[in-house]
Structure 1
Amino acid sequence: MLEAIDIHADALKRAALTAGPAARVPNCPKWTVHDLVAHIALVHCFAIGLAMNRPAKPAPPPDWEDLLGWWDGQRLALREALGQDPGSPAYSPYPGFDVTVGDWTRRMAHETAIHRLDAESALEEAPETRFSPEFANDGIDEFLTYLAPRLGRKTDIRVTTPERTWSLGEALAEVDGPADDVYRALWGRPHRASVTGDLAPVEAP
């Protein structure tokens, strides 16, 4: 998962530099590329404090070049913070839920991967990025069994990929397809999965 953070952050940065800070992000219509980079840089900085059990209130610099440099520094610090024993307790912003360093590593891998897709959507010719079934299935599991409950999202859903099935609650919605597409569907990104029912109460806000 540490390697995944690096891979997807590098790809996100390449796309951001190519698109430019003023480019719109079709996956997140309210954002520019500058907004997207500020968000992921802030999240990475926030995760450092959580992994070290010292919550911080980061403030990304507004200038584009300064922001890129600041993010580079946060990425190095994030790797160091997440390089601890994965089982070490970390700060949890979710009342009633314990969190470990390994949880934050996994969370940042998937957070960065999804926002990589957002950055690439800002390009005139977006690459055909596809996540491996192993990574995408882990992302589905992380979303359904870890993140959604902590965010108070409903998980009355049945999700099926060629490799795995999740049956949670009353299954008011069903999603079926390749793991990569199901992963994107749960995050509200463009996908080719089959969806039955209303995904809105489940998908990422």
Structure 2
Amino acid sequence: MLEAIDVHADGLKRAALAAGPQAPVPNCPKWTVHDLVTHIAFVHGFAVGLATNRPVRPTPPTGWDDVLGWWDGQRLALREALGRAPETPAFSPYPGFTATVGDWTRRMAHETAIHRLDAESALADVPPTRFSPAFAADGIDEFLTYLLPRLGRNPGVRVTTPERTWTLGEPEAELDGTADDVYRALWGRPHQASITGDLAPLAAP
């Protein structure tokens, strides 16, 4: 997961630089690439505090070159913060739930991967990025079994990929497809998964 953070952050930055700060982000219609980079820089900085049990809300600079440089620093700090043993206790912002360094490593890997897709959607020639079945399946599992309970959501849904099926509650909706497509669908990104019923209760945070 540490390697995944690096790989997808590099891909995100590559796409952001190629698209330029004012390019619109089709995956996130209210954002420009500048907004997207500022967001991921903030998230990485915030995760440093969570992983080290010193939660703070960082303030990224506003200028494009400045926020890029600041993000580079936060990425290095994040690498160091997440380099400790995965079972090390960390801060949890979710009442009633504990967290570990491993939890935040996993969370940042998937946060960064999804936003890489967003940065790439801003390019005129969108690259054919695909996630491996193992990584995408882990992202599905993290979304369904880690994030949803912490957000107080308990939807009835069945999610099926060729490798695995997840069933939450009494299914009133079904999502089926490759792990890559299901992963994207759960996060509200373009996909080719099959949906039956209403997935609104699963809407990504």
TM-score category by the smaller chain? Answer: over 0.9
Q: How many residues align?
A: 205
SS of equivalent residue, structure 2 residue 167: strand
Q: Does 1:13 align with 2:2?
A: no
What's the CA shift string for 1:169-193, capped at 9, x where partnerless?
1111100000000000000000000
C-alpha contact 1:186 1:202 (8 A) present in aligned 2: yes
| Alpha-carbon distance in 2 for matches of 1:175, 1:201 | 13
Q: Does 1:94 align with 2:118?
A: no
Q: What residue identity is the alignment partner of 2:6?
A: D
C-alpha contact 1:159 1:176 (8 A) present in aligned 2: yes
C-alpha contact 1:144 1:155 (8 A) present in aligned 2: no
| Alpha-carbon distance in 2 for matches of 1:203, 1:108 | 19
Task: Give the match for residue 61 of structure 1.
Answer: 61
Could you tell me which runs of 5 or more consecutive residues in structure 1 were left unpaired when the two chains were aligned.
Answer: none
| Alpha-carbon distance in 2 for matches of 1:152, 1:143 | 13
Q: Does 1:168 align with 2:145?
A: no
Task: Give the match for residue 45 of structure 2.
Answer: 45
Q: What residue identity is the alignment partner of 1:80?
A: E
| Alpha-carbon distance in 2 for matches of 1:186, 1:65 | 33
Q: What residue identity is the alignment partner of 1:47?
A: A
SS of equivalent residue, structure 1 residue 75: helix
What's the CA shift string for 1:3-59, capped at 9, x where partnerless?
000000000000000000000000000000000000000000000000000001100
| Alpha-carbon distance in 2 for matches of 1:106, 1:129 | 20
Task: Give the match for residue 199 of structure 1.
Answer: 199
- By how many angstroms is 1:154 displaced? 3.2
Q: Note the 1:55-204 alignment, pairs <5 A.
A: 55-204=55-204
| Alpha-carbon distance in 2 for matches of 1:109, 1:136 | 11
TM-score, structure 1 length as denominator?
A: 0.99
C-alpha contact 2:154 2:168 (8 A) present in aligned 1: no
Q: What residue identity is the alignment partner of 1:114?
A: I
Q: What residue identity is the alignment partner of 1:162?
A: P
Q: What residue identity is the alignment partner of 2:176?
A: D
Could you tell me which runs of 5 or more consecutive residues in structure 2 were left unpaired when the two chains were aligned.
Answer: none
- By how many angstroms is 1:203 displaced? 2.4
Q: What residue identity is the alignment partner of 1:153?
A: R
